[in-house]
Amino acid sequence: MVTQITSAGLPLIAPALVLGYDTSSESSNRSRNVIGSRSPAITLGSESLRSGDLSLYFTTAALAWTARNTLATAAVFTLTSPEEPNINMKFVRAGGMKTALDSETLSQWVVTVGYQEVL
């Protein structure tokens, strides 16, 4: 089984490969100076959900452009990867999206999309 991206009522996205998965998250811990004290006041918070870029490799222009058009839809997507379950998530598109023709084959395509994980 291959990596798939799904969303209700939209075409299935099944890239030949996931070329890149870049993720980051941020702490919501807060530190404030306290007048008259050398020690700051600390408020602990939970980690934010993942965000980053996902690069998907397609063997044809038709598959790449279908993926691009699908990901351009205002929707929540589900990424499922049996090969790498650590990247499984629900996400929305965030930031930019780039589509590029593979410079070596001149027939295969890479779609890179910014994402924000959601619950």
* Distance between CA atoms of residues 49 and 40, nearest Å: 26
Per-residue CA distances from 112 to 40, 55, 60, 66, 108 (Å)? 41, 4, 15, 13, 14
The per-residue pLDDT for 102 is 87
Domain boundaries, the chain: 4-24+48-118
Contact 24, 52 (CB under 8 A): yes
Per-residue CA distances from 35 to 30, 39, 44, 58, 112 (Å)? 16, 9, 20, 58, 48
Burial tier of 26 (Cβ tally within 10 Å: 0-12, 13-18, 19+): exposed
Q: What is the pTM of this model?
A: 0.86
Note down pLDDT in tens along the chain; length 119 residues: 689 999 999 999 999 999 999 999 999 999 999 999 999 999 999 999 999 999 999 999 999 999 999 999 999 999 999 999 999 999 999 999 999 998 888 899 999 999 999 99
The per-residue pLDDT for 88 is 97
